[in-house]
Amino acid sequence: MDREQILDALRAVRAGEMTPEAALGLFAQAPYEDIGYAKIDHHRGLRNGSGEVIYGAGKTAGQIAGIVERMLAAGGENILITRMDADKAAAVAQAVPLFYDALSRVGIANRVEKPLAGSVVVASGGTSDLPVCEEAALTAEALGSRVTRLYDVGVAGLHRLLSHVEQLQSARVVVAVAGMEGALASVIGGLVDCPVIAVPTSVGYGANFGGLSALLSMLNACATGISVVNIDNGFGAGFLANRINRMKGLEE
Amino acid sequence: MDREQILDALRAVRAGEMTPEAALGLFAQAPYEDIGYAKIDHHRGLRNGSGEVIYGAGKTAGQIAGIVERMLAAGGENILITRMDADKAAAVAQAVPLFYDALSRVGIANRVEKPLAGSVVVASGGTSDLPVCEEAALTAEALGSRVTRLYDVGVAGLHRLLSHVEQLQSARVVVAVAGMEGALASVIGGLVDCPVIAVPTSVGYGANFGGLSALLSMLNACATGISVVNIDNGFGAGFLANRINRMKGLEE
Amino acid sequence: MDREQILDALRAVRAGEMTPEAALGLFAQAPYEDIGYAKIDHHRGLRNGSGEVIYGAGKTAGQIAGIVERMLAAGGENILITRMDADKAAAVAQAVPLFYDALSRVGIANRVEKPLAGSVVVASGGTSDLPVCEEAALTAEALGSRVTRLYDVGVAGLHRLLSHVEQLQSARVVVAVAGMEGALASVIGGLVDCPVIAVPTSVGYGANFGGLSALLSMLNACATGISVVNIDNGFGAGFLANRINRMKGLEE
Amino acid sequence: MDREQILDALRAVRAGEMTPEAALGLFAQAPYEDIGYAKIDHHRGLRNGSGEVIYGAGKTAGQIAGIVERMLAAGGENILITRMDADKAAAVAQAVPLFYDALSRVGIANRVEKPLAGSVVVASGGTSDLPVCEEAALTAEALGSRVTRLYDVGVAGLHRLLSHVEQLQSARVVVAVAGMEGALASVIGGLVDCPVIAVPTSVGYGANFGGLSALLSMLNACATGISVVNIDNGFGAGFLANRINRMKGLEE
Amino acid sequence: MDREQILDALRAVRAGEMTPEAALGLFAQAPYEDIGYAKIDHHRGLRNGSGEVIYGAGKTAGQIAGIVERMLAAGGENILITRMDADKAAAVAQAVPLFYDALSRVGIANRVEKPLAGSVVVASGGTSDLPVCEEAALTAEALGSRVTRLYDVGVAGLHRLLSHVEQLQSARVVVAVAGMEGALASVIGGLVDCPVIAVPTSVGYGANFGGLSALLSMLNACATGISVVNIDNGFGAGFLANRINRMKGLEE
Amino acid sequence: MDREQILDALRAVRAGEMTPEAALGLFAQAPYEDIGYAKIDHHRGLRNGSGEVIYGAGKTAGQIAGIVERMLAAGGENILITRMDADKAAAVAQAVPLFYDALSRVGIANRVEKPLAGSVVVASGGTSDLPVCEEAALTAEALGSRVTRLYDVGVAGLHRLLSHVEQLQSARVVVAVAGMEGALASVIGGLVDCPVIAVPTSVGYGANFGGLSALLSMLNACATGISVVNIDNGFGAGFLANRINRMKGLEE
Amino acid sequence: MDREQILDALRAVRAGEMTPEAALGLFAQAPYEDIGYAKIDHHRGLRNGSGEVIYGAGKTAGQIAGIVERMLAAGGENILITRMDADKAAAVAQAVPLFYDALSRVGIANRVEKPLAGSVVVASGGTSDLPVCEEAALTAEALGSRVTRLYDVGVAGLHRLLSHVEQLQSARVVVAVAGMEGALASVIGGLVDCPVIAVPTSVGYGANFGGLSALLSMLNACATGISVVNIDNGFGAGFLANRINRMKGLEE
Amino acid sequence: MDREQILDALRAVRAGEMTPEAALGLFAQAPYEDIGYAKIDHHRGLRNGSGEVIYGAGKTAGQIAGIVERMLAAGGENILITRMDADKAAAVAQAVPLFYDALSRVGIANRVEKPLAGSVVVASGGTSDLPVCEEAALTAEALGSRVTRLYDVGVAGLHRLLSHVEQLQSARVVVAVAGMEGALASVIGGLVDCPVIAVPTSVGYGANFGGLSALLSMLNACATGISVVNIDNGFGAGFLANRINRMKGLEE
């Protein structure tokens, strides 16, 4: 319900083309479409990018397919579906054209080639963090960002990370994914001059407490330029990374 | 110790102008200056911006003044000093030219007028969040960002926030500062298309647990495009906001 | 053991119609009926409403059916059974007439049409919160309240919530159900003048910590007129909403 | 910005009496008054009751007095000021007519006699809970509710509580205030048929953890009809109690 | 290795009947018997009572049976086995004579009638607490205490508890078992003059956090004469209750 | 309001000597005396012992003195006052005869020599635990128990504890007071056959978290016969220890 | 990338045998070998010992076998694989020669007899801690340390621990493994003069909170010379124990 | 009470030179000296090193001086006193010869030059960690270890740490002290082959939670060879570092 739409409606009211009551009603109903089990505007902000997003957890395969069909009917491309397990994906693939990545549980309906731009680096501490990494990477790619993957560069073997300093320093945004002690974000934060999005993962055991250790570690990072998203939230990091990566230049 | 410097040293070694041992020594000593109680490169990343930063808490006025003097000698301008209480500020002001904001406990040594660019909005839930807000705003300004302040627009009185939607939507970055339940970040995240940096504050009482309620709330924000910094970390948010605000455009 | 019953017994003692010892025994035994595995007065307070309640979790189907049969024998109608999974429901339905809602796991034995009164709005942030919502709504309805459902109106898409402001403002009580960051309660609390009962849900992941983030958020809500029940406690919210909804007017 | 005001503005636009742009501006500016350090509409909802509320913590005496003066100029009566310590109160009393209760740190500016109605019982477990109790009681009274105080009736001496059963059972709302193990709410919840608002307090030591023990206890209360507000939040409980107490009767 | 045994050994050394080295070896090896997977003295303290105890969790049926056989060979009676699930019990019963209670998962090998003495009351808040209650009750009985069970007397229906005041007041020890808000311990503590052992249970949901709410509640109980054991630790409570119940009188 | 008093009142009613209404009123008012700021029956249970108890924290010196005067008027002896700091004690001592122990902040008004009986051992891990120890010891002594103090016998120097095994084993109850890791309770629990009351203290630093480490340690003690009271709750432990110590013998 | 290698490369550059660019490339690529799903240098530090280590959790049997094959090809012996469950082990054993211990889930590929040296004692509180103990013991043995196992010597039966004092005191390092209250570390710490590595385990229930009670207990140990590793981290303790055990003597 | 002493006593008993009762008494009294407020054997283990240790917190200056005087009388040198604030130190210095370091609050009585041996590196993340660092360093030095200080080498400026790799790699033990995110331990752990003792500090703010973030981070360190001591426990780390540093070589 943006400013222009409000003004348009108000102008129609002034012109006598619309009653005030109708205008109020319009405000209330316009911006989403209700298909019973969902209101298909859940990721409105994404329309400005290059795809749509459906959160797959807690939805049945039938519901997911139904939403996708509506979106396809509206001309949707590269429709992102996150946290969809393999069984649901198989069922959805019966109904609509679907790319599916089992590791990250990400699906993309009606996938079409699109030019990728900019530079997002997704770096991970260990191999166990890969599902979260790929959720971030596939999300950013589906939205139009070029992604470089630097996996298994944890701080315990610093030379592996340092051997990729050049790639890190040429990024526009870095997504730093790490479980356990989450030190990767701090170390990368000290090496680059671009924004760093830290993703704590629940990988680990014992006093890891489901990702709490990495979360606290990243929030307390001593380096500057770092912010944090929820534990295991690869989608959120990939979405935000794309938003930053695709920013227009500053008109000074 | 960037790639070029390493290559230069290696070339000098090849040319016989430097022994290998000297090169190794060089690597180890170059990038910072040690004045005993501090190594003045603590915020190296900032040099690419438009100022320097000193974390004031846990340093004596004498130490702060000493570091500032070294920076001034090196031509420093708009040197930022955070978390410096009023007593220390008065003492530092004896030694060096100092602007000081008592609310946010931010000082700026050798403050000079500089052109501000872009658009950072700092929004707060209530008046008690102002010290954190101003730390963020003054930091971003010292680094060269134009800042709009939207204070006291908490979600309990939604009309106040909605009346500033236009300002929010024209921002390049929004810093959302809130204590108590921290809902401001989610609501703003649903209204804008730019990155949102959420800053939980320790404002509140009871089950607020020193900012934990706002922190968890912001990490779990249902809107996209939001990331979080540490509780009360206005400096971190302002620093990151400036970094994002001043990004160059994407060459697609 | 209310005042009148005590006085009656005391009068009977004074009249010599009852020994003191018998009176004491009476006090101890009257108010409930013991059928071995249960004392059927578990929800005495409900009798003042229009139904009875059985907490289904931790009871066998046989026990539930047994309690219902006793209640039916005593003329019970609209007997509410909460947290009863589908298997138990199927078994109970063999023994007694049963309405069952699989989503909320609520059963109603000997369901009869009753006039509904007043206005309770149950609002939810997302579709995953529906089981808790329906537990609240069915409970309030079984006790005699008219319920309006406003689902999937989370704060990330504020226009969906605002488009229902009129319904919210005409409610006598609002039950606000939300997981993740739980901001819905605060936002609704700022829009209405009636009591708001907030129900945090365990929906979410990562730093959600089983509903803790929404719980703390709601307890710290900056709006007034809000109180909170336990995580996922739809029954408690529906019960209390009915109690408030059906209050008699104030005789000033 | 209620529905009627929106419709009025729209009608004025239709009548050509107002431009669309002016209408939009009106929406944005009308509902609060900005006096620099505060936006005086912080407790808009209260206007429907019988007083105004200022949260005193984190405001200077000068700011409080300034807000009160504006409210008095607008005809305000019984203006409530919470969490104001004695020093501030003395300073405010220099500027405006002020009633002040040191125990609860509640002030009431321009206090006038008003008829009290209904029946709110405020019950406490121990004498240390009195500041929170009085904050609740004075709030409810300032808003027009008749309040009965039942203090020091904790469950460890059950006969003291039971000796007041009649008063409890005649209440329209009970506010149950308790620290330590917070059992008072459960026990009262089992004795009455009206809504119970539980207020955990931070009174206690050791594994009390600043009120956490009472908070968890109350959230897990086994009795029905109970909801909980934040730790030590007497104002919130008193405000909500008044709202429930003053409800109109149900038109069935 | 009690005082008498040490003295005996020392006397034997003095008498030249034992070398010092042998004595030291004796001290090290005497008090337990090692059968490989267990050292059968795990509950030495119990020998002073009337039975032996084996902690069944984490042991195989074969190991349990093996330990029991050794104990039987040594003349053991009423050998208690706790936390043994039904499958293990069936297997153990093949090898040794076994009484088994499926609800509490307690087994008793070579059960013999013994006179019970004193008076332990085990009281519970709800029916879901029964497994813990029975673990406590069967333990105390196996050790020689007479036990009275008062189940489902939670504080939400206070009259049920009050109707058993006489039984409570005639106890030598009360074991108060409750989940959720754990208020039962405080209320009973205010009614009796004997020691109360509180057992928090993990029964509940949401902010119960696996028994934490009841645990904190009981630790903060406002009544005197109460102490607490670990969550769900029925065995520990029953063991201690028996120890207190069977105390000898004070020789003043 | 014990059984006998109820029966007496009922008999009086039957005899026509009392109206039923009067009886009900009697039940409600009898058992405590209200002096405004306190209801002097706060520790009714203690009357069966040999003293009275006033919780001094959160009461003014005037209030404490007032309560003591009433108790003295009623013939009170050895009136215990806990958590009373030195300033209050000095003021109270102006008004009534007072013994005061500054270390434990325990006062005893109208202290008279009384025979002590039985055997309570209070053992502590370190010297910093002494205030809690003395609160326990003085409480038990004021109530009539003979107390042996074994201080500074922490498990890091096991020989010091073992050198007192005989004293430990001759106790009727042991109070084990320890901060830091709280291991003392487990070790003592393995050495004695009497009940052990464990008191965690907040002594320590870092991951001690205000006594949480010792509290959890003691709740998880691997030895049997141990129960726990609140952190730093010396009074509670001393009170319970006396209750157990003074138990009458079992009539088998 | 150790000093010598850097110097060698620099010397080669000086000698004209290597270009600076090649040297930089060398630094970046040398120290690990990338086989797609893993970078086989994950435990570089171990090469100085006598084996290699693969963390088995989160890797498929195929991946584990693949890594082992590469290591065997490079002449690897005693290759340690931790946290590998039995199914994976069976599959891996098809491909490479494998010793497997089901209790600790430790595998050793190409196991060869090697001389063991020094003295590491692994002590445990109870039998349930054995899997963690054996992970520690097998790790230390695979790396070349002689290990003595002292199992089931918990502090509740102190004589069992004391009977092994001599073995404890002859150790060069002690690994103290305990769940529940974790007191074993403190008691052992008081008995020996060598470093003690404490391993908290998640063994226990209730307020154990997944090993938190033992962890906090061990961090707060009152004895000196103790440090702690993560909950259940037998591998980490065994690795560190070997490192300390095999230290060279001090050249004073 | 070591093996030899026991054997000696036993031999004396056998020889008839000592009664068994006397032997038992001897065992109980020998190993410490009781001076009322302290038992001077609190740090017995230290005697094998080169100094004595007194924990200063919670002791009066008089008590500290008293203990030192006894130790001096027994020939003590380099007596370490930790956590002693400046006021106490001044008072103690009146009575005994005292070296005092105000930063770390460490005192050393009767300080004498001693040869230092081996190599302990104490590294810190930031300047705020210095008090903890110095407590560790002075402790290790007082006990005879040579200490190298590497301060302000936090991971945000990795080049500063890398420039000291050689010093790190030549250490026998590294003490890694860090607050905030505690990443220093992991990074150092990946660079060295010797044991690393990690000390989390409470330096930081917000979600640091008094050192919890660094503590969890260090416990979850992905590098091997690391163990952790309590938050801010510089003494514990220095003591253990010395113990490891001074280990004798392995006789293989």
Asked which of G57, G84, G109 is the last residue of a domain, the reply is G109
Most D CBs within 10 A among A6, A8, A10, hence the mutation to make, goes to A10
pLDDT confidence of residue B2: 44
CB atoms within 10 A of CB B218: 35
- Averaged pLDDT for residues C59-77: 87
What pLDDT does residue A110 have?
Answer: 92
HSE-CB at C145 with a 13 A cutoff on CA atoms is: 30
Query: Does an interface of 3+ CB pairs under 8 Å exist between F and B?
Result: no
Task: Kindly report, residue by residue over A157-179, the tens digit of the pLDDT.
Answer: 777 787 787 789 889 999 999 99
Which residues of chain G, if any, have pLDDT below 70?
Answer: 1-7, 9-10, 20-52, 251-252
- Residues paired with C56 in a beta bridge: none
Q: Is the pLDDT assigned to residue F11 strictly greater than 90?
A: no
Query: Is C225 found in the same domain as C133?
Result: yes
- Do D77 and D133 share a domain, yes or no? no
Q: Decide if C112 contacts C77 (C-beta within 8 A).
A: yes
**Which residue of chain H comes nearest to G118, CA vs CA?**
H250
Residue entry with tokens 């990400």: A106
Q: Are residues B90 and B154 in the same domain?
A: no
Per residue in H20-73, pLDDT (tens digit) is 666 655 554 444 555 545 555 433 433 334 445 888 887 889 989 998 998 888
Last residue of a domain, one of H81, H109, H137: H109
Residues B177 and B217 in one domain: yes
| Residue D170 · residue D142 · CB < 8 Å | no
Q: What is the largest CA-CA distance in chain C?
A: 72
Per residue in B140-173, pLDDT tens? 999 999 999 998 888 877 777 877 888 898 899 9
In the prediction, which pLDDT does E2 show? Answer: 45
Contact B220 C208 (CB under 8 A): yes
Whether E209 has a pLDDT exceeding 50, the answer reads yes
G193 and H45: CB-CB below 8 Å? yes
Q: Using one digit for the tens of pLDDT, what is the confidence trace for H129-143?
A: 999 999 999 999 999
Q: Within this chain, do residues H151 and H228 fall inside the same structural domain, yes or no?
A: yes
The answer to whether residue C49 scores a pLDDT higher than 80 is no
Residue F207: which of G154, G183, G216 has the nearest Cβ? G216
Residues A62 and A172 in one domain: no
Please name the helix (run of DSSP H) or strand (run of DSSP E) that holds residue B55, with its range, or none. Answer: strand B53-55
Question: What average pLDDT does range H113-133 have in this prediction?
Answer: 90
Cα distance between residue F74 and residue C50, in whole Å? 53
pLDDT in the model for residue B5: 59
F142 C-beta neighbours (distance < 10 Å), count: 27
pLDDT at position A217 is: 92
Do B201 and B232 contact (CB within 8 A), yes or no?
Answer: yes
- Helix C61-73 crosses helix C86-95 at what angle (to 10 degrees)? 40
Which CATH number does the domain housing residue B163 bear?
Answer: 3.40.50.1970
Taking Cα atoms as reference points, which of C209, G231, A220, A229 lies closest to residue H214? A220
Q: Does some domain include residue H227?
A: yes
Give the pLDDT mean for C4-27. Answer: 66
Please tell me which of B90-94, F247-251, H60-64 the model is most confident about, judged by mean pLDDT.
B90-94
> Is the residue at D6 inside a domain?
no
Do D68 and D130 share a domain, yes or no? no
Which pLDDT does position G30 carry in this prediction? Answer: 42
Interface partners of chain G (CB pairs < 8 Å, 3 or more) are: A, B, E, F, H
pLDDT in tens, chain D (252 residues): 344 556 676 677 777 777 766 665 555 444 455 554 555 543 343 333 444 688 888 788 998 999 899 888 878 888 999 999 999 999 999 999 999 999 999 999 999 888 899 999 999 987 789 999 999 999 999 999 999 999 888 887 777 787 788 789 889 999 999 998 888 999 999 888 899 999 999 988 888 888 999 999 999 987 889 999 999 999 999 999 999 999 988 765
CA distance C150 to C170: 13
- Determine whether the interchain pair B6/G19 forms a contact, defined as Cβ–Cβ distance below 8 Å: no
Looking at the structure, tell me whether residues G168 and G211 fall in a common domain: yes
How near does any CA of chain B get to the CA of D43, in Å? Answer: 9
Report CB contact under 8 Å: G31, A160: yes
Q: E243 and E123: one domain?
A: yes
User: Residue A156: what pLDDT?
Assistant: 77
The pLDDT score that the predictor gives to residue B7 is 62
Q: Select the residue from F128, F162, F163, F209 to test the H interface by mutation, using most H Cβ atoms within 10 A.
A: F163
Mean pLDDT of B177-202: 91
Pairing of the two strands H117-124 and H98-101: unpaired
Closest Cβ–Cβ partner in B152, B164, B207 for D231: B207
CB-based contacts of E115, cutoff 8 Å, min separation 6: E144, F252
Residues D84/D105, Cβ–Cβ less than 8 Å:
yes
Which of C129, C153, C180, C186 to mutate to probe the B interface, most B CBs <10 Å? Answer: C186
Instruction: Give the distance from residue E217's alpha carbon to the nearest chain G alpha carbon, in angstroms.
Output: 14
- Res. A182: pLDDT tops 90: no
The Cα-based distances of B100 to B73, B84, B96, F144 in angstroms read 21, 9, 12, 65
Residue D25: its pLDDT value, please? 55
The helix (H) or strand (E) run that includes residue D242 is helix D234-245
Q: What is the predicted pLDDT for the residue at F25?
A: 54
**DSSP string covering C188-248, please?**
HHTT-SS-EEEEE-----GGGGGGHHHHHHHHT-SSSSEEE--TT-HHHHHHHHHHHHTPP
Size of chain D in residues: 252
Q: C163 to chain A: which residues are within 8 Å by CB?
A: 27-29
Contact of F20 with chain C, judged by CB distance below 8 Å, is answered with yes
**DSSP code, position G220:** T
E97 and E216 belong to one structural domain: no
- Phi/psi of residue C54, each to 5°? -125, 125
Q: Are E132 and E236 in contact (CB under 8 A)?
A: no
Higher-confidence residue of E234 and C181: namely E234
Domains identified in chain E, total number: 2
Q: In terms of domains, do F58 and F77 share one?
A: yes
Tell me the mean pLDDT in the region E109-128: 90
> What gap in Å lies between CA H187 and CA C224, rounded to an integer?
49
Which domain range does residue G235 map to?
117-251
Per CB-CB distance under 8 Å, the chain E contacts of D204 are 220
Instruction: Examine residue G1 and state whether it is found in any structural domain, yes or no.
Output: no
Q: Is residue F206 part of a domain?
A: yes
Q: Collect all residues with Cβ–Cβ distance below 8 Å to D203 and sequence separation of at least 6.
A: D126, D128, D129, D179, D180, D211, F58
Residue C25 located in a structural domain: no
Distances (CA, A) of H157 to D213, G57, G154, G245: 43, 33, 46, 34
Weakest mean pLDDT among B131-135, D247-251, E147-151, G101-105: D247-251
- How confident is residue A29, by pLDDT bands cut at 50, 70 and 90? very low
Q: Final residue of a domain: which of H109, H138, H162?
A: H109
Cβ(F120)–Cβ(F145) below 8 Å: yes
Q: Would you say residue F64 lies in a domain?
A: yes
Task: Specify if G13 maps to a domain.
Answer: no
Q: Is the pLDDT of residue F44 over 70?
A: no
Confidence of residue F26 (pLDDT cuts 50, 70, 90): low
Nearest chain E residue to F245 by CA: give it. Answer: E250
Q: What is the pLDDT of residue E77?
A: 85
Supply the pLDDT for residue B110.
92
| B18 part of a folded domain | no
Which chain H residue's Cα is nearest to E15? H14
Highest average pLDDT, of B46-55, C148-157, H86-95, comes from H86-95
The per-residue pLDDT for C167 is 87
Residues in chain B: 252
| Position E43, amino acid | H
Q: Are G234 and G135 in contact (CB under 8 A)?
A: yes
Check CB contact of H5 with chain E, cutoff 8 Å: no
Same domain assignment for residues F86 and F147: no
Q: What rounded mean pLDDT belongs to chain F?
A: 83
Tokens in use for H212?
Answer: 């919890």
